[in-house]
Structure 1
Amino acid sequence: MALKRYFNLLRGQLREWLASSISNRISFAALSLTTMVALVIGLSSYGVVTLLVSRSVKAELASQVGLTRQKLQTELNALASDLANLAGNSFIANGLVDSLGRDTYLLPFLHEHRGSVSLKTVIVLCDYRGRPIASNGSQIAGLQAVIPRIQAVLATGRPASQIVGEGGGTFLVLLHPVIFPPTGQPEGVLVQSVDLLELFRGGTGHLGDEYIADLTAGGLQVAHHGGKGAESGAIRASHSLALHAPLNSLKLALEVGLSRHAAETPLKWVALLYLLFGLLILVPVLRFAQATARRLTQPLSSLSRTASSIADSGSLEVWAEVAGRDEVGTLAAAFNEMLRKLRASQEELESQVAKRTRELREAHDLLESHVERRTAQLTEANLRLAREMESNLQLEQQLRQAQKMEAIGTLAGGIAHDFNNILTVIGSYTVMTALQMSDEDPLKKNLDQIMTATEKAANLTRSLLAFSRKQVMNPQDCELNAIIEHVERFLLRVIGEDVELSTTFRAALLPVHVDRGQIEQVLMNLAANARDAMPKGGVLSIETALQLVERESVGAGGLGLAPGLYAVVTVADSGIGMDRETMAKIFEPFYTTKEVGKGTGLGLSMVYGIIKQNKGHITVYSEPGCGTSFKIWLPALARAAHPQPTRDASEQPQQKGTETVLVAEDDAEIRTVVELILAEAGYRVILAVDGQDAVEKFTGERHEIRLVLLDMIMPRKSGKEAYGEIRRLDPGMKFLFSSGYVADYIHNRGDLDEGVELIFKPVHPTELLRKVREMLDR
C-alpha cells in the first residue's frame, strides 16, 4: 500500500510539472524517446562488446599459457638432456671403477658442473649397488625414497624420473644409467635433484598478480603460483607439457587461470563507457528540447531553466542558448563561457592527477628493482663469506695438526739424543768387557744379552729420529722404480704367501734424490702394515707415476706442494681399512691398534719422518672394509739418476794405530769410554771438554795431532764452530764428527765438506776404531 501511495504521489507531481509549462512537456517527450532509443542501442552494443572483450581475455590467457608452457618444457627437457650428456662423460664411467683416482678428478668435475640451465642442481653418482660414492657437495633430499627406482634403472638400463616430497618441499629427481664402455652394461646411476617449486616459480615469474597457475602430475597438484590479488579463476586454460623421456612418464600438465576481478574489469569499463555515452546523448536531446521550448517561451525563462538544470544535476555538459544580442543573450553567452572554463579546469586537474599517479607507480617499480638487486648482492656476499670461513677453519685444523706433529717430533728427537749418549756408554763398556773375557766365561752370556738389549734400544731411537726428521741421511741420485724392484723380493717375505704383490710402473724412469735405504725402509714398513690389515690374505699393489703440479697445492684438500715434477708412489691394500679417527692418529709415535706386545706404534711414524726428511709428502685414504691407500710424493729430478758406487765391505782397514787423536766431547762418560777404546788400540788421545777447549789444545799440539773427533753439540763452541777455526789453522786436518742429534748441523751447513765424515751414536767400539783407522789412512 505504501508503495502504491508513493507511486501515485510521484505520478501526480509529474503531471503537475508537465502541466506547469510547454517547455517541460517538450523536454519530457524528447528525453523519453531518446532514452528508449539509447537503451536499445546500448544493450545491443554492450552484448557485442562483452563478447569481444571475453574473446580478447581468453586470447591473452592462451598466450600466457603458451609462454609458460614453453619455458617449463625448455627447462625440464634441458635438465634431462644435460643429465644424459653428463652420464655419458668418460670421467663419470671411469669414476665408478677407479676408486684411487676418484678424488683426483671425479669430485672436482662434479663440483665444477653447472649444467645448461640456470637452476642449482644436486648431482650424486651411485654405484651398481645403489650406494652414493660421489656428489657435487650436497645430499639429495629424499634419496631413500628413490632407491627402488635406482634399482629399476640398473636392471632395465633406461632413464627414469620421480617426484619426491621431502622436508616440506617438492623435488624432481632424474635418474640416468651410467654405461661402462668395456661391458656396455649399466655399472651405476647418475641421480640429479631439482627443487620443483623453484623451477615452477622461474617458469611462471612473468605472470602478473592477476594470474594463478598450477602444475599437476597425473592429475595431482605438485606446484602452485598465485599473485597477491589472485582468487578463484573465472577463466582457466590447461595444457599438457610435451616432455622427452624420462620426464614424459610423469604426465605433467599446466593450468593457468585469470582472476575474476581481472576478467570482469574490462566489462565494467565497457558498462561505464556506455553509461557515459548514454548521458552524452541525452544532453543534446535535452538541449534540442529546451531550444524548441525556448523558441516557444521567453528567452529569460529558457535561461532560468538551464541554470536550474545545472544546479540540480551538477553536470557541466549543458549550454545556454544565446538568442539575440540583447541583455539576455549577453547573459547566456557569459554563462556558457563560465561553463567552458570550469570544464577545462576539471579536465586539466584530472590530467595532472593521472600524470602524478603514473610517476608514483614508476618510482615504486624502480624502488622495488633496487631493493631486489641489493638483496641478491647481499645474499651472494653472505655465501662467499661462509665459504671463506669454512676454508679458514680447514686451514686452521691442518696447521694445528702440523704443529702437533712437529712438537711430538721435537720431543722424540730430544729423547733419542740423550738416550743415544747413554747407549754409547753402555754398549762400549759391554763390548770392551766382553773382549776381555773368554768364550767359556758364564758371565759372557749376560753381556751378550746386554748388547742385544742395547741394539734394540738403538733401533728404537733410530725410529724416533726418523719420525722427528733428525736421522742421519745419505741422499743420492736414485731411480725410484729400481729401488722398488730391488726391495720387491724382501717384500714378498714380509707379506707372506697368502698376499699377492702387484707392481705397476706408469713412467719408465723416475729419478729422485733420496736416501735409498730410508725409502726401502718406508716400503718395508708399509708392507708390514698392509700384511697385518689382511689376516685372510689379499692384494698389495705398488704403483708409480710422474705427475706435474702446476700451481701451489694448498687449502682443504691441498698437499702443501710447490709447483714442479713429482714422483708419486701409491701403496694400496685390500684389507680391513680404518675410520677417520684412526687415520688422524696413525702417524703419531707409539699409536697402534694392535694387541699389547705385537707392535711398537713406530712403523708409520717412522715412514712419516723419513718422507718429510726427504722433502716429500704422504697422504692416506681409507674406509672401513674398503682397504687403505698411502700416496707418497717425492720431488723428481730433471736429470737421469747416476747411483754412487759402494765400497766393498771386505776391504776393512786395520783398526789399531799409534797416531795422536784429539777427542772433543762435553759428556764426561762418553769422553772417558772413547779415550779408553782408542788408548787400548794404541792411539795417543788428547781430551777436550768443549769446542773452545778443543781449539786451544789443537793450537798447542797441532803438529802432533792427525785426526780431530768432534761432538756436534757442545757448550762455548759447537763442533761446527771448532771445526771452522781448526780448519783455518790447518786446512789439511782430518775431522770425524759424532752425534746422536744431527739435524742442526745438517740444517746449518748443508752437505759435509770433502774429507769430513760423520758417525751416529750409539757407535760400536769396533765401528769407531774402523772409522778412525779409515780416516787416518786416507
Structure 2
Amino acid sequence: MRKIRVLFLEDNPDDVELELYELRKGGFDVTHDVARNRQEFFEKIAPFAADIIIADYSLPDFTGIEAIHACRELKITAPVILITGMGNEQVAVDSLRDGATDYILKKNITGFAARVKRALDIWADQQTMETVKQEKGRLQHQLFQAQKMETVGRLAGGIAHDFNNMLTGIMGYTSLSLRTLADDSPIRNHLQIVLDVSRRASDLVKQLLMFSRKIPLELTKVDLNGLIRKNVDFIRRVVEETVEIRLDLQEDLPIIFSDEGQLTQLLINFAVNARDAMQGKGVLQFKTRRCLPNEQRQLNDRFAGVDQEYVCITITDTGCGIPAGEIDRIFDPFYTTKDVGKGTGLGLAIVYSIVTGHGGWVDVDSTPGHGASFKVYLPTRKASDPEQKGREREQKDDADLCPHISHTQETVLLVEDEAMLRDFSTDMLQSLGYRVVSARDGEEATAIYQQRHQEIDLVISDMIMPKMSGLEFFSKAKAMNSDVKFILVTGYCLEDMKGKVIRDMSAILMKPYTTEKIAALIRQVLDE
C-alpha cells in the first residue's frame, strides 16, 4: 500500500470519514489530521508535513483558496485538492488558476482515490521539473562564474606579463645606474627608492599571476592541521590582539598533496578579510574535518564524477557579514567594499584561484550582522604528474646574489622581441664584459644559431615571442647542439609545459629581475 500523510481542511467529520474510506479502499495507507478552521490550519500545516492537503472550498472563517495562498506564503509545496458540495465550471477553472491541483464535487466522490493518486503524480512531476530547473540554473551560474573568472584571469595574466616587461626595464636600468654611481652620490638614494617601489609593484604582479594561475603549484605532502598550527602565531600578528583565534581541528585528518605556500597565503587572506570585517574585535575560527559522504558525492558530481576524498577547512568570523546581493561578487578580482587605499580587491579572488587550482571548491554562507563562514574543500589526491608541476630554479634575493662578477669575453645570444628589454639586456651584458648577438624572435635566433652556434657560449631567450616561442627555439637549438647552455626568461609559470623540456634547460629566470640577479645566474650557468 502507498503511504501518504493527508491534512483535511474540513468542518464536517462525516465528509472526512467518507474521504478516508475512499482513500483506503483505493490502496492508500493514510496518516491524517484534521483542521476544522483557520486557526487549526495554521497550527497544524507546518508540523504535520502533509503529502497532500484536501480542503473544503468554503468554511465559515476560511476558504480553500485562502489555504492555497497561505501555503504559498509559508513555502509549503504540497498539492491541494479543493472539494465542495456545490460549484460550477467557472469555480473549478478559477480554483485551478489559483493553484489547486484538482477540484472535486462531493456528490461525485467515486474515483476519489484515483484523483488523489493523479494529483500526487502531477505534483511529483512538477517537483522533479523544478529540481531539474534549479539544478540547471545552478550549473549555468557555476559555468558563468568559472568562465568569468577564467576570462578575467587571462586578462590579469596578460596585464601581468606586460607589466613584468616594463618592471624588468625599470629595475634593470635602475640597477645598472646604481652600479655606475659613486657611493656618496646624492641620487643613489633616489634610485634605491625606485628599485624598492618596483619590487613592491612586482609583488602586486605576483598576486595577479597567482589569481590567473600563472604561479606554479609545488605539490608536497601537507598536514593541514600542522600547517594551521604553524601559522597561527603569524595570523595573530596579522589580526588585532582583540581578535580571539579559535582552532577546532579534527584529528587523524588525511594528508593532502598541495602547495604549502599557497595554502598559507589562503589562510592569511582569510584572516585579513575577517579582521577588516570584524573591525579589530571578535572571534576568528579555523575548523577542519573530513567531508561527509553526501558532501563527497556532491563534490565528485561537481567535478564530473571524479572519485576523490575531500577535507574541509571552515573559516568563520563574527564580523559584519556579507549582504546577499554581494555574495556572488566577493570572489571577483578588484571587487572591494573597503575604503580607497585599504585593499586591492584581490584577497578573496586569490583564495578562489588557489582553491580551484588545487581541484577544490569554496562555499560561503553569511548573514548581515552575523558574520561569515567560508568552507574550503580540498582533495586528498596525490600529485598525478610531478614533472608537469615543475618549478623554476629557486632564486634568492638580490642581497644574496652579489658575488664578484668577472669580466670575460664569452658570447651570448640574446633573444627578445621587446625592443626596450633587448636594448637594456644588451647594455647590461656588455657592461659585464660579454659579447652580445641579439635576435628579435625565435626564427631569427634559429638562423643565427645555425650559423654561429660554435662561438655562442650561452643563449638567453624570452619565452613568449611572435613567430616562434622560446621553447620551440630551445628544441631547435638543442637539436643543433646537445650541450647548449640555455636560460629561459619568463613572467609565467611553466606548469603546463613538458617537464623534460624544462629539465633540459640550464636555468629559468623569472621576470622582473635586476642586473645582479641575472649576472649571477649567467656566471653560475657558464661556470657549471
TM-score interval, normalised by the smaller of the two chains: 0.7 to 0.9
Instruction: Evaluate the alpha carbon distance shift between residue 494 and residue 373 of structure 1 in structure 2; reply closer, same or farther with a 3 A threshold.
Output: closer
Compute the TM-score of the two structures, normalised by the length of structure 2. Answer: 0.74
Which residue among 275, 299, 303 is the counterpart of 1:553?
Answer: 299
Q: For 1:168-183, what aligned pairs fall within 5 Å after superposition?
A: 170-173=41-44
Counterpart of 1:697 in structure 2 is 448
Please give the secondary structure, in 2, of the residue aligned with 1:633. strand
Instruction: Evaluate the alpha carbon distance shift between residue 394 and residue 772 of structure 1 in structure 2; reply closer, same or farther with a 3 A threshold.
Output: same
The answer (yes or no) to whether the contact 2:443–2:468 under 8 Å persists in 1 is: yes
Instruction: Evaluate the alpha carbon distance shift between residue 163 and residue 730 of structure 1 in structure 2; reply closer, same or farther with a 3 A threshold.
Output: farther
Which residue among 184, 192, 198 is the counterpart of 2:47?
Answer: 192
| Superimposed CA distance per residue, residues 663-686 of structure 1 (whole angstroms, 9 cap, x where no aligned partner) | 211111111212222222233333
The answer (yes or no) to whether the contact 1:578–1:628 under 8 Å persists in 2 is: yes
Counterpart of 1:667 in structure 2 is 418
Instruction: Evaluate the alpha carbon distance shift between residue 713 and residue 495 of structure 1 in structure 2; reply closer, same or farther with a 3 A threshold.
Output: same
Task: Tell me, in whole angstroms, the C-alpha distance in 1 between the residues paired with 2:54 and 2:235.
Answer: 58
Greater RCO, CA 8 A, separation 6+: 2
Counterpart of 1:687 in structure 2 is 438
Q: For 1:32-47, what aligned pairs fall within 5 Å after superposition?
A: none
Counterpart of 1:500 in structure 2 is 244
Following superposition, the deviation at residue 370 of structure 1 comes to 7.9
Q: For 1:115-130, what aligned pairs fall within 5 Å after superposition?
A: none
The answer (yes or no) to whether the contact 1:656–1:682 under 8 Å persists in 2 is: no
Q: Percent identity?
A: 32
Counterpart of 1:305 in structure 2 is none
The answer (yes or no) to whether the contact 2:402–2:516 under 8 Å persists in 1 is: no
The answer (yes or no) to whether the contact 1:552–1:561 under 8 Å persists in 2 is: no
The answer (yes or no) to whether the contact 1:552–1:563 under 8 Å persists in 2 is: no
Please give the secondary structure, in 1, of the residue aligned with 2:502. coil
RMSD over aligned CA atoms reads 4.2
Q: Structure 2: which 5+ residue stretches go unaligned?
A: 1-12, 57-81, 88-105
Which residue among 500, 509, 515 is the counterpart of 1:759?
Answer: 509
Which residue among 444, 452, 457 is the counterpart of 2:188?
Answer: 444
Task: Tell me, in whole angstroms, the C-alpha distance in 2 between the residues paired with 1:486 and 1:637.
Answer: 23
The answer (yes or no) to whether the contact 2:54–2:83 under 8 Å persists in 1 is: no
Counterpart of 1:539 in structure 2 is 283
Matched, 1:676 2:397: no
Following superposition, the deviation at residue 162 of structure 1 comes to 9.3
Task: Tell me, in whole angstroms, the C-alpha distance in 1 between the residues paired with 2:401 and 2:186.
Answer: 31
The answer (yes or no) to whether the contact 2:217–2:495 under 8 Å persists in 1 is: no
The answer (yes or no) to whether the contact 1:423–1:458 under 8 Å persists in 2 is: yes
Counterpart of 2:125 in structure 1 is 381
Which residue among 458, 474, 478 is the counterpart of 1:707?
Answer: 458
Please give the secondary structure, in 2, of the residue aligned with 1:594. coil
Please give the secondary structure, in 2, of the residue aligned with 1:582. helix
Instruction: Evaluate the alpha carbon distance shift between residue 422 and residue 197 of structure 1 in structure 2; reply closer, same or farther with a 3 A threshold.
Output: closer
**Equivalences, count:** 456
Normalized per residue, the structure richer in helix is 1
The answer (yes or no) to whether the contact 1:653–1:773 under 8 Å persists in 2 is: no
Please give the secondary structure, in 1, of the residue aligned with 2:414. strand
Following superposition, the deviation at residue 71 of structure 1 comes to 6.1
Task: Tell me, in whole angstroms, the C-alpha distance in 2 between the residues paired with 1:573 and 1:456.
Answer: 30
More displaced stretch, 569-578 vs 704-713: 704-713
The answer (yes or no) to whether the contact 2:312–2:377 under 8 Å persists in 1 is: yes
Matched, 1:615 2:359: yes
Which residue identity is paired with 1:687? S
| Superimposed CA distance per residue, residues 24-51 of structure 1 (whole angstroms, 9 cap, x where no aligned partner) | xxxxxxxxxxxxxxxxxxxxxxxxxxxx
More displaced stretch, 541-550 vs 759-768: 541-550
Task: Tell me, in whole angstroms, the C-alpha distance in 1 between the residues paired with 2:237 and 2:485.
Answer: 43
Greater C-alpha Rg: 1
The answer (yes or no) to whether the contact 1:552–1:560 under 8 Å persists in 2 is: no
Matched, 1:772 2:522: yes
Please give the secondary structure, in 1, of the residue aligned with 2:313. strand
Matched, 1:747 2:496: yes
Following superposition, the deviation at residue 500 of structure 1 comes to 1.6
Compute the TM-score of the two structures, normalised by the length of structure 1. Answer: 0.52
Instruction: Evaluate the alpha carbon distance shift between residue 471 and residue 647 of structure 1 in structure 2; reply closer, same or farther with a 3 A threshold.
Output: closer
| Superimposed CA distance per residue, residues 285-343 of structure 1 (whole angstroms, 9 cap, x where no aligned partner) | xxxxxxxxxxxxxxxxxxxxxxxxxxxxxxxxxxxxxxxxxxxxxxxxxxxxxxxxxxx
Which residue among 449, 464, 471 is the counterpart of 2:215?
Answer: 471
Following superposition, the deviation at residue 531 of structure 1 comes to 0.9
Instruction: Evaluate the alpha carbon distance shift between residue 197 and residue 716 of structure 1 in structure 2; reply closer, same or farther with a 3 A threshold.
Output: closer
Please give the secondary structure, in 1, of the residue aligned with 2:496. helix
Which residue among 711, 721, 733 is the counterpart of 2:472?
Answer: 721
Instruction: Evaluate the alpha carbon distance shift between residue 531 and residue 382 of structure 1 in structure 2; reply closer, same or farther with a 3 A threshold.
Output: closer
Counterpart of 2:349 in structure 1 is 605
Q: For 1:503-522, what aligned pairs fall within 5 Å after superposition?
A: 503-508=247-252, 510-522=254-266
Counterpart of 1:61 in structure 2 is none
Task: Tell me, in whole angstroms, the C-alpha distance in 2 between the residues paired with 1:385 and 1:751.
Answer: 51
Please give the secondary structure, in 2, of the residue aligned with 1:753. helix
Counterpart of 1:579 in structure 2 is 323
Matched, 1:594 2:343: no
Following superposition, the deviation at residue 380 of structure 1 comes to 4.1
The answer (yes or no) to whether the contact 1:171–1:194 under 8 Å persists in 2 is: no
Q: For 1:414-433, what aligned pairs fall within 5 Å after superposition?
A: 414-433=158-177
The answer (yes or no) to whether the contact 1:559–1:617 under 8 Å persists in 2 is: no
| Superimposed CA distance per residue, residues 524-551 of structure 1 (whole angstroms, 9 cap, x where no aligned partner) | 1111111111125112112223336654
Task: Tell me, in whole angstroms, the C-alpha distance in 2 between the residues paired with 1:561 and 1:540.
Answer: 34
| Superimposed CA distance per residue, residues 34-88 of structure 1 (whole angstroms, 9 cap, x where no aligned partner) | xxxxxxxxxxxxxxxxxxxxxxxxxxxxxx969939969xx9xxxxxxxxxxxxx
Task: Tell me, in whole angstroms, the C-alpha distance in 1 between the residues paired with 2:140 and 2:466.
Answer: 38
Instruction: Evaluate the alpha carbon distance shift between residue 713 and residue 564 of structure 1 in structure 2; reply closer, same or farther with a 3 A threshold.
Output: same
Which residue identity is paired with 1:429? Y
Instruction: Evaluate the alpha carbon distance shift between residue 717 and residue 500 of structure 1 in structure 2; reply closer, same or farther with a 3 A threshold.
Output: same
Counterpart of 2:146 in structure 1 is 402
